[in-house]
Amino acid sequence: MERRLQGKTAVVTGGANGIGRACCERLAVEGADIVIADIAAADETVMDVKRTGGKAVAQRCDLSSLEDVARLRERVDASFGGCDVLVHNAGIYPNTPFEEITFDEWRKVMTVNIDSMFHLTKAFLPNMKSKGWGRIIAMSSTVFHSGIPGYCHYSASKAGLIGFMRSLASEVGQFGITANAIAPGLVRTGTTEARLETQWFDQTVEQQAIKRTGEPADLVGPLAFIASNDAAFVTGQTLLVDGGWRFV
Ligand SMILES: NC(=O)c1ccc[n+]([C@@H]2O[C@H](COP(=O)([O-])OP(=O)(O)OC[C@H]3O[C@@H](n4cnc5c(N)ncnc54)[C@H](O)[C@@H]3O)[C@@H](O)[C@H]2O)c1
């Protein structure tokens, strides 16, 4: 495989599990050094990357802590000379009907899912600008347009990421930096499998053009494309990776 990210450093939030873990491995295969920023231990992802011959370090980081984000930036700048590809993948998705969502739960979802995008971009953008190259990528969700019951806070946060990217793209394009979002449909991860009944997966597959459940591996090609120079003229976009959900 062509190593389109040779010499680059990718910071992947939420890279310890699920979609983020798969993304780390693929970005490493593309040649990037990987920094996994996660509140959970990421030893298995580090091993995945090392098996590909790549380099990965895990930095424990609670994205709701400004101190942790500052420590992450210091380590990335000191050890890797800055972040070239920022993948804001970490997210939480509690299922709560609107009338039962407390303001604390609302704030928690916003803090992890979207406030952290603000802090991470503030942390890594200056270095990207000075190099004249950067990729800022957020993992949104198809719920931003479809909506589903129980996810008002989550949907708001994922729609917010898309608006953020469109405006950011218009500011940073002149510096060789792109800002895009990927919106997965339903993807089988440890969290969705533990959380959702089998019928959720079955019903979703029925509503997709492609009749199988999405897997983390389905996200990695689109992500690698957006991160690479092949997508140098693609910015402010949201790429739906959902098997054609609700087209049929
Ligand atoms: N799985 C799906 O069906 C699906 C669909 C659409 C969008 N997404 C989005 O894709 C992303 C990944 O989803 P997933 O299913 O792989 O999730 P996951 O729960 O498997 O993994 C999320 C990771 O984020 C980390 N994380 C959570 N809170 C954190 C915090 N405060 N600080 C740092 N790390 C934190 C977790 O430890 C975990 O490793 C999320 O943003 C999610 O909203 C997922």
Residue bearing the CA closest to ligand 1, atom 8: 141
pLDDT at position 224: 98
Distance 239 CA to ligand 1 centre (A): 18
The first and second tokens of residue 132, run together, are 């004249």
Among 60, 68, 189, 218, residue to substitute to test ligand 1 (most atoms within 8 Å of Cβ): 189
pLDDT at position 217: 98
First to last CA, the chain: 34
Distance 234 CA to ligand 1 centre (A): 25
List C-alpha distances in Å: 116 to 14, 98, 187, 216.
12, 23, 23, 22
pLDDT at position 78: 96
List C-alpha distances in Å: 209 to 74, 147, 213.
45, 19, 11
pLDDT in tens, 92-126: 999 999 999 999 999 999 999 999 999 999 999 99
Under a CB-based contact definition with an 8 Å cutoff, are residues 221 and 51 in contact? no
Q: How far is CA 123 from the centre of its chain?
A: 16
pLDDT at position 1: 75
Query: 158 by DSSP, 3-state: which?
Result: helix
CA nearest 89: which of 196, 182, 187? 182
pLDDT in tens, 66-100: 999 999 999 999 999 999 999 999 999 999 999 99
pLDDT in tens, 179-208: 999 999 999 999 999 988 899 999 999 999
The answer to whether 151 is a known catalytic residue is no
Query: 49 by DSSP, 3-state: which?
Result: helix
pLDDT at position 247: 72
Q: Indicate whether 173 pLDDT > 70.
A: yes
Q: Taking all residues of the chain, what is their mean pLDDT, rounded to a whole number? A: 97
Ligand 1: lining residues by beta carbon, under 6 Å: 13-14, 16-20, 38-40, 61-64, 89-93, 112, 139, 141, 184, 186-187, 189-192
Neighbours of 67 (CB within 10 A): 9
Confidence of residue 248 (pLDDT cuts 50, 70, 90): low
Phi, psi of 45 (to 5 degrees): -65, -40
Residues 124, 151, 154, 164: which is the catalytic one?
A: 154
pLDDT at position 239: 98
Atom of ligand 1 nearest to the CA of 93: 43
pLDDT in tens, 141-150: 999 999 999 9
pLDDT at position 2: 84
Under a CB-based contact definition with an 8 Å cutoff, are residues 175 and 134 in contact? yes
Domain ranges (residues) in the chain: 9-241
Domain 9-241, what fold? Rossmann fold (3.40.50)
Q: What percent of the chain has pLDDT over 90?
A: 95
